[in-house]
């Protein structure tokens, strides 16, 4: 007997990034030489000092439950990091440590949204934002951007989208999938609108360390005024910056009532994040930063090396990123040249015929684009580019 599942589960869209990665893995296991450019995770291993700290914590017996919202040592390390990098001052009661930044975002939306509340999301967006908002009973409101606008929403766009039901806006800078970054002045203008209308700002800063410009130009919107500090929920974690995607440690920094609400949710969802992963995260933030810095530099070097090659592929129109580790590419013309009605069909053929896995832009709200990740072995990435060139020529 097939009993029906809940409507909320039936209405959730599957993650295209995870689906593409899974399909590429299946093909590899079947002996097909697939190059996967879909995964959003560094190709480096976690630095050894972090691994050693986690193992040491196990040997010392730190294998039990911890406080739901995180161990004191990790909260303090996060507080120190925010103070040093963003000039933000928080107390332990304003820090929530969760099982990855995705879980932290879920708890944040569940805490601030009531059924029917609207959340403004610039397009393109990370695939999970609208689904989590809907799971919290909220309504995602999409604001279109475009290639010529560097895929960034302006303060004017933001204000035009606000209604009496608007509860929050989601900002992601540096951005997934585009790699674009909001300037201090752009954030300040958006912040003024949020302040004027009393709108929460969910600031996803998970790619903060992966920024290719002058680090002094990269700011958190929470640091721009006292009012914005109160309105902003900063989301971050160790996954991208320290090659710790599988460790599942993320955090939020926000006003105490929000953090308390998130903690109550986690009490009944996950309890604490994995104890030993938390001790590893302490080492990430307090240890030598030389290895993480070398990873950031490697990503920038790859971007500079491969961007001109992408530009040379017929029908490909990439936008040069300023952060993260993705190229977001307009391939509408490429799809037409190959006789495909949609970019989704073009991407499927890339996988089936050229054995290159890319993520269609439809999952990010821009169906004429693809996203590829250069957090990939450079030799394999170059081989993938050669395959895409040949695919367009044949």
Instruction: Please report which confidence band the pLDDT of residue 26 belongs to, taking 50, 70 and 90 as the band edges.
Output: confident
Residues 6+ apart with CB under 8 A from 221: 171, 187, 190, 191, 201, 203, 228, 232
Contact 329, 367 (CB under 8 A): no
Q: Please spell the DSSP secondary structure of 32-47, one letter per residue.
A: ---EE----S-SSPPP
Please state, in angstroms and as integers, the Cα–Cα distance from residue 7 to each residue in 108, 117, 132, 206, 209, following that order: 22, 19, 14, 31, 38
The mean per-residue pLDDT over the stretch 108-118 comes to: 98
Whether this model's pTM surpasses 0.85: yes
- State residue 64's pLDDT score: 97
Instruction: Please report which confidence band the pLDDT of residue 18 belongs to, taking 50, 70 and 90 as the band edges.
Output: confident
- State residue 28's pLDDT score: 85
Q: Please, how many CA atoms are within 13 Å of residue 201, restricted to the half-sphere of its CB?
A: 30
Nearest alpha-carbon partner for 258 in 393, 110, 387: 110
Nearest alpha-carbon partner for 141 in 126, 114, 121, 167: 121
Q: How far apart are CA 143 and CA 157, in angstroms?
A: 7
Nearest alpha-carbon partner for 204 in 169, 167, 242, 158: 169
CB atoms within 10 A of CB 276: 17
Q: Please spell the DSSP secondary structure of 260-298, one letter per residue.
A: HHHHHHHHTTT-SPPHHHHHHHHHHHHS--HHHHHHHHH
Between the CA atoms of 170, 171, 175 and 177, what dihedral angle is there, to the nearest 10 degrees?
Answer: 20
Residues 6+ apart with CB under 8 A from 52: 283
- State residue 374's pLDDT score: 97
Q: Tens digits of per-residue pLDDT, 150-166?
A: 999 999 999 999 999 99
- State residue 205's pLDDT score: 98
Instruction: Please report which confidence band the pLDDT of residue 386 belongs to, taking 50, 70 and 90 as the band edges.
Output: very high
The mean per-residue pLDDT over the stretch 241-259 comes to: 98
CB atoms within 10 A of CB 199: 20
- State residue 325's pLDDT score: 97
- State residue 24's pLDDT score: 81
Q: Tens digits of per-residue pLDDT, 175-194?
A: 999 999 999 999 999 999 99
- State residue 15's pLDDT score: 75
263 against 217, higher pLDDT: 263
**Residue 174, preceding peptide bond in cis (omega within 30° of 0):** yes
- State residue 308's pLDDT score: 98
Instruction: Please report which confidence band the pLDDT of residue 309 belongs to, taking 50, 70 and 90 as the band edges.
Output: very high
Nearest alpha-carbon partner for 364 in 175, 217, 211, 201: 175
Query: Does the pLDDT value for residue 22 go beyond 90?
Result: no
CB atoms within 10 A of CB 9: 9
The mean per-residue pLDDT over the stretch 386-393 comes to: 97
- State residue 173's pLDDT score: 98
The answer for 140, left when phi > 0, alpha when psi is -120 to 50, beta otherwise, is beta
The mean per-residue pLDDT over the stretch 292-303 comes to: 96
Instruction: Please report which confidence band the pLDDT of residue 130 belongs to, taking 50, 70 and 90 as the band edges.
Output: very high
Instruction: Please report which confidence band the pLDDT of residue 361 belongs to, taking 50, 70 and 90 as the band edges.
Output: very high
The mean per-residue pLDDT over the stretch 358-369 comes to: 95
The mean per-residue pLDDT over the stretch 74-91 comes to: 97
Q: Is 340 helix (H, G, I), strand (E, B) or coil?
A: coil
Instruction: Please report which confidence band the pLDDT of residue 13 belongs to, taking 50, 70 and 90 as the band edges.
Output: confident
Q: DSSP H helical segments within the chain, as ranges? A: 7-11, 16-29, 48-59, 72-86, 101-112, 128-135, 155-161, 184-197, 226-231, 256-267, 275-286, 290-312, 332-337, 343-353, 378-393
For the chain, which domains are there? Answer: 7-45+291-393 (3.90.1150.10), 64-286 (3.40.640.10)
- State residue 329's pLDDT score: 98
Q: Tens digits of per-residue pLDDT, 55-72?
A: 999 999 999 999 999 999
The alpha-carbon radius of gyration of the chain (Å, integer) is: 21
Percentage, residues of the chain above pLDDT 90: 90
Q: Please spell the DSSP secondary structure of 109-162, one letter per residue.
A: HHHH--TT-EEEEEES--THHHHHHHHTT-EEEEEE--GGGTT---HHHHHHH-
Instruction: Please report which confidence band the pLDDT of residue 215 belongs to, taking 50, 70 and 90 as the band edges.
Output: confident
- Mean per-residue pLDDT over the chain, rounded: 96
What DSSP designation does 314 have? T
β-bridge mates for residue 142, sequence order: 121
Contact 98, 258 (CB under 8 A): no
């Amino acid at each position: 007997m097939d009993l029906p599942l809940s409507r909320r589960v039936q209405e959730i869209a599957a993650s295209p990034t995870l689906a593409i990665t899974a399909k590429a893995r299946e093909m590899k296991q079947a002996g097909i030489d697939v190059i996967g450019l879909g995964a959003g995770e560094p190709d480096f291993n976690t630095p050894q000092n972090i691994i050693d700290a986690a193992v040491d914590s196990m040997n010392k017996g730190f294998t039990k439950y911890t406080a739901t919202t995180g161990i004191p040592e990790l909260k303090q390390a996060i507080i120190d990091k925010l103070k040093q990098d963003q000039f933000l001052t928080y107390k332990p009661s304003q820090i929530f440590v969760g099982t990855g930044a995705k879980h932290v975002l879920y708890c944040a939306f569940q805490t601030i949204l009531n059924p029917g509340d609207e959340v403004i999301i610039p397009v393109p967006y990370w695939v999970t934002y609208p689904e989590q908002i809907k799971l919290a009973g909220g309504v995602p409101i999409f604001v279109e951007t475009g290639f010529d606008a560097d895929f960034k929403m302006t303060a004017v766009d933001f204000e035009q989208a606000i209604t009496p039901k608007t509860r929050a806006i989601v900002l992601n800078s540096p951005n997934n999938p585009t790699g674009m970054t909001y300037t201090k002045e752009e954030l300040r203008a958006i912040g003024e609108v949020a302040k004027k209308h009393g709108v929460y700002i969910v600031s996803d800063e998970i790619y903060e360390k992966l920024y290719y410009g002058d680090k002094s130009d990269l700011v958190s919107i929470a640091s721009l005024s006292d009012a914005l500090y109160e309105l902003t929920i900063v989301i971050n974690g160790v996954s991208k910056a320290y090659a710790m995607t599988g460790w599942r440690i993320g955090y939020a920094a926000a006003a105490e009532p929000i953090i308390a609400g998130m903690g109550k949710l986690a009490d009944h969802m996950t309890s604490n994040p994995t104890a030993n992963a938390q001790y590893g995260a302490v080492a990430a933030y307090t240890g030598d930063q030389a290895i993480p810095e070398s990873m950031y530099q490697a990503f920038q070097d790859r971007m500079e090396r491969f961007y001109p090659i992408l530009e040379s592929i017929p029908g490909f129109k990439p936008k040069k990123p300023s952060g993260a580790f993705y190229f977001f590419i307009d391939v509408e013309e490429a799809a037409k040249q190959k006789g495909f009605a949609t970019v989704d069909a073009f991407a499927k053929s890339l996988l089936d015929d050229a054995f290159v896995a890319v993520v269609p832009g439809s999952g990010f709200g821009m169906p004429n684009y693809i996203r590829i990740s250069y957090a990939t072995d450079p030799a394999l990435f170059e081989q993938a580019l050669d395959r895409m060139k040949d695919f367009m020529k044949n």
